[in-house]
Structure 1
Amino acid sequence: MGHFINQSIVVAVMTKYLETSHLNIAYEETGGPHGSPIVLVHGWPDDVRCWNHVTPELAATGFRVLAPYLRGCKPTTFRSAETLRSGAIAALGQDLADFIAALDLRDVLVVGYDWGARAGYVVGALFSERVRGLLAMSAGYATAKPIRELSYDLAKAYWYEWLVATKQGREAMDKDRRRLCRYLWETWSPGWRFTDAEFSATAASWENDDWAPISIHAYLQRWGEAQGAPEHEAIEQRLREIPPVQVPTVMLHGENDADNFPETSEGKERFFVAGYERRLLPGVGHFIPREAPSEVLAAIRQLAQAHPPQNIQRR
């Protein structure tokens, strides 16, 4: 058990585990066990520590707060050595859907940024019966289809995604992961300053044999250079049709995001059938939960108040 302290709010945090078909998912839980559930899904390269300035207030106001570690992040592990270490959007979405189903959660608020946002879009589109709202950050709606037309400025920003197509790039992702990720943290949010302790606390979760293979596969598969895992093919097929998100959605994007430029979340309204609001955050880069936790909390409160739970949670 750990504790978070934030502006005089102290909350106990439990690390728990659950099994899905392919994973042993580690997650942190805090707040009221019978409170309205909210699932916080972190991005890449990051881990659940990104929510440190969000979780205490959510727990103190009665939410049941659940924050899973994504596949590849310690202590989440695979159940079989034979399972493809896929980082595909379909895999992330299935993991989140399995997590919600395994806990039998209903009327969930899903909050995700970067990879977590991509997982949230999948769940909001294909598994919406358990979700009452989605807060997505730092990644616009996208599916399994590679982008066919993009500016060269954006191509330059995505250099790390294409680097893994080379042997040297794959070795860097594996053998030099901390230095690579520190560079990404520094450049994706040019106005943000983080401490060595903050970085090290998160980087420890990348010391997992699955982290590099999943990271490499994510970008090879995203650009059509690798196949996804067979267990996700049904979702891959549905994502190729670009299904609309079925739940109310708020999207936050940092104006200074130097990875997923703000242009990548523009003009997406047609993919949301239950309401969509996009909000740009001045002076904020890619790591929104770390840089602008007050904006995250405000958006969560907005969704929670506008779309209260309809079902009583099963005990």
Structure 2
Amino acid sequence: MPAIRTALLEISFLDVGPRQGPVIFLIHGWPDDIRAWFKVAPYLNAAGFRTIIPYLRGFGLTRFLATDTTRDGRGIALAQDVIDLADALGISDFFVAGHDWGARAAYLLAALFPSRVHKIAAMALAFQPRGEFPIPSFPQARLFWYQWFMCTEGGAAAVKRDPVGFSKLQWDTWSPAGWYDEEEFFKTAESFRNPDWAAVTLHGYRSRFLPEPIDHRYDDLQRRMSGIALLSTPTLVINGASDSCDPPSSFEEGDHNFVAGYELLTLDGMGHFPSREAPETVAKALIRHFRK
């Protein structure tokens, strides 16, 4: 698998499809890895798109170059990693499709780098204006139990001890029962054995609500994002009608934040992992969106 060094990371990624085709960065979510796109990418490649699928920081084969770099898991850092990878590959403009954490990165890329990102598609996560994390309603807070769990010292220690078991609990509860097979989960879970997975995971969630150390190289991007409530990039959002983490109510009235086109596609019977649960449907929707 190819890997490229940026200022902070050695990013491992797949690069498949026609070399001169339009580029789609496919960004995986949490807790997941590049396998989330394995059944979607071939459709995109056959349709003429070049797909680049990186392991996020802290996942799989991607590694930090220095031991003293803050293991910052904020979306702003993930978005900059995509820009750094695109720069290293000599790609000036592109599309982005992201799931979960990858969806957050897609929204942030559209907000902060609109001249480089033509269109985005986001799955299983709604846009958060100004990059804010307000305390959710009581029903949503109940679904977000795992976030509060990680904000306790005992919970954080438990995640460090058993990242695979913690991740499997999300797979077991975020989508209808029986949606995945055990072998596929455990192949994916190899990515959660990355030495920085727990640190990046914990930082990504704890920094939303606690005063965690941050990497100040992202301060300017974070400041800029704090003033952005509207996106001017055409956006497709795909969610599952049976998602038990980010239910359909999460996406109500989301169109008010998009000024250049917004489409919401809700998949009946699907949960939190659309690219895995309905890969052909997702692929066809992406092709239609990115070809328009």
Give 1:268-283 correspondences, 5 Å limit. 268-283=254-269
Alignment partner of 1:114 out of 80, 83, 100: 100
Q: How many angstroms does 1:36 deviate by?
A: 1.4
Q: Following the alignment from structure 1 to structure 2, what is the Cα–Cα distance between the partners of residues 163 and 214?
A: 15
Q: How many angstroms does 1:128 deviate by?
A: 1.6
In structure 2, the CA distance between the partners of 1:274 and 1:104, relative to structure 1 (3 Å rule), is farther
What TM-score do you get using the length of structure 2 for normalisation?
A: 0.95
Q: Which residue in 2 is equivalent to 1:217? A: 203
Q: Following the alignment from structure 1 to structure 2, what is the Cα–Cα distance between the partners of residues 105 and 238?
A: 23
- 1:208 aligns to 2:194 (yes or no): yes
Give 1:144-293 correspondences, 5 Å limit. 144-148=131-135, 150-293=136-279
What TM-score do you get using the length of structure 1 for normalisation?
A: 0.88
Q: Which residue in 1 is equivalent to 2:37? A: 51
Q: Following the alignment from structure 1 to structure 2, what is the Cα–Cα distance between the partners of residues 140 and 172?
A: 28
Q: Following the alignment from structure 1 to structure 2, what is the Cα–Cα distance between the partners of residues 249 and 176?
A: 36
**Structure 2 gap ranges (5+):** none
In structure 2, the CA distance between the partners of 1:227 and 1:152, relative to structure 1 (3 Å rule), is same
Q: How many angstroms does 1:243 deviate by?
A: 4.1
In structure 2, the CA distance between the partners of 1:268 and 1:228, relative to structure 1 (3 Å rule), is farther
**Structure 1 gap ranges (5+):** 1-14, 307-315
Q: Is the 8 A contact 1:255 1:282 kept in 2?
A: yes
**Aligned residue pair count:** 291
In structure 2, the CA distance between the partners of 1:191 and 1:242, relative to structure 1 (3 Å rule), is farther
Q: Which residue in 2 is equivalent to 1:131? A: 117
1:234-265 Cα distance to aligned partner (Å, 9 max, x none):
11112222342221100011111111122222
**4+ residue runs of structure 1 moved beyond 6 angstroms?**
none
Q: Is the 8 A contact 1:191 1:284 kept in 2?
A: no
1:53-112 Cα distance to aligned partner (Å, 9 max, x none):
111222223221110000100210111111100111111111122222222224412110
Question: What's the % identity of the aligned pairs?
Answer: 37
What is the root-mean-square deviation in Å for CA atoms of aligned residues? 1.4
Q: Is the 8 A contact 2:110 2:117 kept in 1?
A: yes
Q: Following the alignment from structure 1 to structure 2, what is the Cα–Cα distance between the partners of residues 222 and 157?
A: 16
Q: Which residue in 2 is equivalent to 1:24? A: 10
Q: How many angstroms does 1:191 deviate by?
A: 3.9
Q: How many angstroms does 1:224 deviate by?
A: 4.0
Q: How many angstroms does 1:48 deviate by?
A: 0.3
Q: Following the alignment from structure 2 to structure 1, what is the Cα–Cα distance between the partners of residues 195 and 83?
A: 24
Q: How many angstroms does 1:175 deviate by?
A: 0.9
- Helix, strand or coil at the partner of 2:53: strand
- Helix, strand or coil at the partner of 1:128: coil
